[in-house]
Amino acid sequence: MTQSQATAATILHADLDAFYASVEQLLDPSLRGKPIAVGGGVVLAASYEAKVFGVRGGMPGRKARELCPHLIFVGGRFSEYQRLGDAAIKVLDDFTPLVERISIDEAFADVAGCTHLFGPPDEIARAIRRRVKAELGLPISIGVARTKHLAKIASQVAKPDGLVVVEPGTEIAFLHDLPVSLMWGVGPATRARLAEIGVETIGQLARSHGGALKRLLGPAAGEKLAALAWNRDPRRLETHRRAHSAGAQSALGRKPAEARVFVPTLLHLADRVASRLRAKARPGRTVTVRVRFADMRAVTRSVTLEQPIQATAMLAEIAEELVRGVLAANRHEREISLLAISVSHLEESAELQLELPLGLADERLKPGSRKGLARFGADRAIDRIRQRFGKEAVGYGAAALEAARSVPDEFRELAEKELQLANSHPTGDRCSSSGGP
């Protein structure tokens, strides 16, 4: 590889625009050009026509209708989302084998090795956009740069339905005028903290004192954001990523921070996460919960266990204790808008280390105890029933099923990407602690 090839902008980030809403407009031409939202009680996705009015994902449906009285709600065609998302990524595969898919509607691609076949990176990006539009009828934005982080930012700048190429030598000038909110990992809470010290652009962040950033955001997040602000991002594409965590989340709108709300929701989330762990025979040691309040501030807590777990009830109880700890430390918060559970530090083997039946109070939380084994056996029986008769055949209580009705599971399974991305790129908006459940 020549020096010019090594320094060329060859990383593409392709992102389908307002994907779920765009699919609905594609399948129902009468919706084109109109403000639509996928969902009902909670907005799951919004078209660009709705976003103009301030409608966004995660917003309560009532608030969305106040902002946009003529908003049209649609239920969602989940199998079509999967089909069209797969087809779009397949277009990237036709140009290069180096594709890292990070969600149903976005992926990175490194085209350094195929320019002799298809032309320079910007021509490849244009060809991809033409094919996605012609073959699928969907708009897609692409950013091209030397690093993953900058390519992703470029694709956001390119929206809607555009292409932005950041050439070597222009990167810092391009980056430093942009708002910090475009950086991967800067959410509302981090953005607000940075604004308190007068940092609103990436350039202001880059020129900030490193010690101040570390005190404000924590050592790891401060150092990482400072590096990204100068376009220092050594990450390579991971074409065969092994899952390091399993997670699920539930957008609640604005609900009271009470046990009657969070207990059934956590049970439902634990059911979804633990069933995936059992299906892959990959129990995990670290349980993390995320609680987002009505003002969009989020708090994350975690605990690392002596033995890996994959039992639903066990995971739900540990998550409940963590959430209660978050709420106890934030007593002034009266409403919650999102709950999430993830399990990380996954292990390859599902073998359990048996423990003596000592009759301890926390024996139900030990996978190898008599109670722990009984819980795991009940889970496996439920798994077998669901495999034969479907997911709705049996569950863990009416309360959990009731909690699931506001957002269909098909959409959740497609849309859940934030937790794994957060674990891969932990930069702010996280307040972690560890300890016993």
* Catalytic positions: 106
Instruction: In whole angstroms, give the CA distance from residue 78 to residue 414.
Output: 8
Is 105 labelled as part of a ligand binding site? yes
Instruction: In whole angstroms, give the CA distance from residue 307 to residue 85.
Output: 37
Instruction: In whole angstroms, give the CA distance from residue 217 to residue 69.
Output: 39
What is the CB neighbour count within 10 angstroms for residue 177?
A: 10
In terms of residues, how long is the chain? 437
Instruction: In whole angstroms, give the CA distance from residue 366 to residue 362.
Output: 7
Is 15 labelled as part of a ligand binding site? yes
Instruction: In whole angstroms, give the CA distance from residue 297 to residue 339.
Output: 12
Residue 241 DSSP label:
P
Residue 253's nearest CA partner among 27, 60, 32, 412 is: 60
Strand order in the sheet with 245-256: 245-256, 335-346, 284-293, 298-309
Instruction: In whole angstroms, give the CA distance from residue 165 to residue 149.
Output: 13
Instruction: In whole angstroms, give the CA distance from residue 192 to residue 400.
Output: 34
Q: Which residues are annotated as a binding site?
A: 15, 105
Q: Which residues are annotated as a binding site for Mg(2+)?
A: 15, 105
